[in-house]
Structure 1
């Protein structure tokens, strides 16, 4: 571990927190639950409002894993898996995840960082944004962007500042120009940049390390935090694993969102937030006042998988995931080229599970897909759904290759080609009628 940096980050995190976040106070009962998990066994507790495990109707859960391994939850272990836990997470999993994050990302220092288990990375995204972005606050957001960001920000009426992307993601020079202009004009400066640098949703781009370094330096220069939403970190199709912003984080500016939805199970609803301890503490207080903690059973299942597989076994599982989706990516690209080569353009995605298609000759794909797509037997997401400015049009389409089989891929691209051809003919007729 690299220890050349100070163990304490020289950042006053209170300036980044909203007034609401600062007003949150710990729940006495939640704090007692936390204490109960760490106190000596000879202490008799009558403090928590926990139900008696003997009343739980489930007596055994057997989980079988690919590769032949299995485990059984029963007795005290099952009781713990069905019980209340501290809001930060299941203690054995928390410790395992700390070691996991250190090994995967090797951040410059760990001493002033913490993690919290959340109910999927969308929950972590929501908690992080609501801790930092107050009504009217400016926030930097990659454009196009995952819509889960804008639905969180909309009620807060945040000033969303779109940052242009190219085929490698956010453009550092464009980011710096935006900030320089705001500074000169005396406008309020943003506290946060939202970024999805690996397998960007919807474009599938993968940002190279040198560009990430430039963006991180800009964050240091202009004193803002980076919310790194990274659900596709292990679903890259390049030779080398992407360098995460956490790996580059010398100052404690990165809030990292991890998800096990894409690599383990989306239904388990397990995500992870890694950030400076004061920011994690704010999110924990929010969870105390909302859903108390992420599902215990899901956390125990994840912990048992880690325990059985070990770190190397988990990495082997990720290698399988990459191989699986890379093959589908390659096939989808081949089929799309076959049917769309004269109708649309796309970049072969370097990570994730989406093909970002830009249709030639059509300004907006919304009506084509939403009104006429189903009649042609296909359902895809129009590009406008990912734009910051919903009034703008987009000629793009996001097509997912994660679940459909190869026969369905072939049929879908064939139907899309026919839909585009019909749409072009329809627009040509309209143009003739208007002349």
Structure 2
């Protein structure tokens, strides 16, 4: 007779759940056990969460007495109507309001998951779609955080672009990782620099090793935060080949995918779209195009890894906000995929105008003082001050006196003790008039800094 493995809370798991976990890890050519921390490998499904999932396709005859779902009759909210800017309204009727207010599946509100899978297949056509899964998270950073917690042990090597999004560094720094920082240029991560950074290891020596070698490669490929530049298709394919050679999982953090400047059909292909081996975890976000406050994103990637992220969610947030998920699902119901993509075009046009206003102000006030690359999307202008080796003190101690504030470049460096002559200016919510004033004030600040250095 088979014995049931026990979860961390002492409850015996049904054997069918054990088989599901084991088969998912072994169902691919990839050996995913290499990438999982001991903590993640020890996670087992929450029995109550798994039984609650049965409600998704439950028979009306099922008498469900397994979960502690609060009775919706006691919820004080009855219905709602959300007015759109075009005058139309999304009506949340009483039955739908119950979906908004009740516990839901950890992987996401099923109607929304279905819509996002359709959108992902349309935009990226993952070559291993049958072995791929998608879940909804409380913003893309929530998914990224759980993925890193799933794969990173204290002291691990982590391959990342530099400069790197500060939120990612904030997730990683408590692990005290050994960063393998790959410098970026005006076209993003450079494959030659990546290969050079990895040259201290031989690919055949680390392919199946679990500790003391890199396992993940983090990249923000489109309209990168903070530089605003994108990686072209040629470089992406070279980076994917290098990741394959060294057996790395690519963490494709792409919250600015829908805020690239240009036609959708001309966007560089995603790493997910070229993933023939099952080594890409992709993180998407609605924050930049629908709402940052709704806190919704989604993770797409190999089923064994996505299922592990679900286990991390089961013991933390349980699931992303049901209200937010239902609202976006109903928005897709109203708009359809074409309507959503049309909306993203309007978002791109808005930020493109913002970028042009920022560049015009920069040309006027910062020419000769700063250097920059033209952002290919997003919300940021990455400025280098050649005459200032470190912008930290200048920005944090003296900028406010000039009525302007930016983020000093050191905040985006893997080693925060290294001097950095860069700074990040956001043009997302600043009016053209404010941009003009802000960069004029910045130019005065830089000139004063240069005078201080002479003294």
One fold, TM greater than 0.5? Answer: yes
The equivalent residue for 2:213 is 189
Which residue among 283, 286, 298 is the counterpart of 2:312? 286
Q: How many angstroms apart in 1 are the aligned matches of 2:154 and 2:373?
A: 37
Structure 1's unaligned 5+ residue stretches are 1-7, 430-435
Q: Secondary structure at the match of 1:63?
A: strand
- 1:66-145 matches, cutoff 5 A: 66-145=85-164
Choose the corresponding residue for 2:415, options 383, 389, 396.
Answer: 389
Post-superposition shift, 1:181? 2.1
**Deviation of the 1:183 alpha carbon:** 2.6
Structure 2 CA distance for aligned equivalents of residues 147 and 185 of structure 1: 33
Aligned counterparts of 1:360 and 1:126: Cα–Cα separation in 2 = 35
Q: How far apart, CA to CA, are the structure 2 residues paired with 1:243 and 1:185?
A: 28
Kindly indicate whether the alpha-carbon contact (under 8 Å) linking 2:203 and 2:245 is maintained by their aligned counterparts in 1.
Answer: no
* 2:246 is the alignment partner of 1:222: yes
Instruction: Indicate which of 396, 410, 418 corresponds to 1:370.
Output: 396
- Determine the structure 2 residue equivalent to 1:433: none
CA RMSD of aligned residues (A): 1.4
TM-score (norm. length: structure 1) = 0.95
Question: Residue 164 of structure 1: SS of its match in structure 2?
Answer: strand
Kindly state the Cα deviation for residue 258 of structure 1 after the two structures are TM-superposed.
0.2
On the 8 A contact 2:191/2:235 being kept in 1, the answer is yes
Q: Are 1:156 and 2:175 counterparts? A: yes
Residue 186 of structure 1: CA displacement? Answer: 7.0
Contact 1:119–1:295, Cα closer than 8 Å, also in 2: yes
Q: 2:30 aligns with which of 11, 33, 57?
A: 11
SS at match of 1:32: helix
* 1:183 and 1:189 in contact (8 A); partners too: no
Whole-angstrom distance in 1 between the partners of 2:286 and 2:237: 26
Q: Does 1:253 align with 2:279?
A: yes
Separation in 2, partners of 1:370, 1:208:
34
Cα displacement (A) at 1:242: 2.5
- In structure 2, relative to structure 1, the CA distance for the partners of 1:393 and 1:285 (3 Å cut) is same
1: CA distance between counterparts of 2:125 and 2:56? 28
TM-score (normalised: structure 2): 0.91
1:358 aligns with 2:384: yes
**Alpha carbons 1:140, 1:163 under 8 Å: kept:** yes
Contact 1:329–1:401 (8 Å) recurs in 2: yes
Aligned to 2:429: 403
Please name the residue that 2:300 is paired with: 274
Partner in structure 1 of residue 17 of structure 2: none
Residue range with higher mean Cα deviation, 203-212 or 55-64:
55-64
Offset, 1:179:
1.6
Say whether 1:212 aligns with 2:231: no
Instruction: Please give the per-residue CA displacement for 1:167-205, whole angstroms capped at 9, x wherever unaligned.
Output: 111110111122222339978331110000101110001
Distance in 2 separating the partners of 1:349 and 1:276: 31
Distance 1:381 1:185, change over 3 A: farther
- Contact 1:236 1:242 (C-alpha < 8 Å) held by counterparts: no
Q: CA separation in 2, counterparts of 1:197 and 1:185? A: 27
Match of 2:58 in 1: 39
Cα deviations across residues 298-342 of structure 1 (Å, max 9, x unaligned)?
000110111110010011001001100001101100111100002
SS at match of 1:372: helix
Using the TM superposition, give the Cα deviation of residue 66 of structure 1 relative to its aligned residue in structure 2, in angstroms.
2.8
CA distance in 2, matches of 1:223, 1:101: 25
1:60 to 69, 79, 87: 79
SS in 1 for 2:194: helix
Match of 2:335 in 1: 309
Q: In structure 2, what is the equivalent of residue 4 of structure 1?
A: none
- Kept in 2: contact 1:234–1:241 (CA 8 A): no
Contact 1:179 1:189 in 2 (8 A): no
Q: Deviations over 1:24-58 (max 9, x none)?
A: 01111111110122211111211111111111111
Structure 1 residue 238 displacement after superposition: 3.5
Count how many residue pairs are aligned between Structure 1 and Structure 2.
422
**Is the Cα–Cα contact under 8 Å of residues 181 and 197 in structure 2 kept in the other structure?**
no
Partner of 1:5: none
TM superposition shift of 1:68 = 2.7
Residue 20 in structure 1 maps to residue 42 in structure 2:
no
